[in-house]
Amino acid sequence: MDQSKTGRFIAEMRRTRNLTQRQLAERLAISDKTVSKWECGKGLPEVSLMLPLCEILQITVNDLLSGERVADGDYQKKAEENMMDLIRENAENRERMTLSIVCGAVTVIAVCALVFIASYLELPVAARVLLLLFALFTGALGIGAAARLEVKAGYYECPHCGALFVPTMADYVKGLHTLTRRRLTCPACGKTSMCRHRVTR
């Protein structure tokens, strides 16, 4: 799906209905920043908001996902294309999550091996210090790469409003977390809570 095209379409349909971003946001019980984010092509409406949004804008979900009004003759073709895009996106998210896990595991093994070598082999002090610094650098780089992959692998689900969203890297890093949940602020309802990580929509 082309997020920029969908965003421009939302903006066009909103203007057609003589609504401001704030008015649309109020009707959906979300922030106007979220609407602005959609219209700038920086995200798509969460699944829970798609039907209410389409009802307000008087369009179909197929129109929304296509980023244009779909003619009756093209309706089934566009619906199939949108379905395939969702399947492809889910597969890419699973792949990113797998790569994140592999990257994290390889990093832990590499750091442990470097620390073991620095601790138990007879080395000059300077070499030992350099090896430990290299282990720290490898750990930071590997965990950073795993985190970047994970933050882009799927979505986080707000337990209050059910919105799906992708946090910024800064919010992701600062958020306290368990294996499957992270403390984040939902851009839709503005509440901060432990949001569940979901790889697929």
Q: What does the domain layout of the chain look like in residue ranges?
A: 3-70, 92-147, 155-198
Tokens, residue 106: 């390889």
Per 3-state DSSP, the chain is made up of helix, strand and coil in percentages (nearest 5) of 65, 10, 25
Q: Which pTM value belongs to this model?
A: 0.58
pLDDT tens digits, one per residue of 97-144? 888 889 999 999 999 999 999 888 888 999 999 999 999 999 999 988
Q: In angstroms, how far is the first alpha carbon of the chain from the final one?
A: 14
Measured distance CA(119)–CA(49) in Å, rounded: 55
> What architecture (CATH level 2) is domain 3-70?
Orthogonal Bundle (1.10)
pLDDT tens digits, one per residue of 53-64? 999 999 988 888
Tokens, residue 56: 């307000």
Ordered mean pLDDT values, 10 residues apiece, the chain (201 residues) = 86 94 91 88 82 92 86 75 77 85 92 92 90 93 88 84 82 85 86 87 64
Give the H/E segment covering residue 36.
helix 32-39
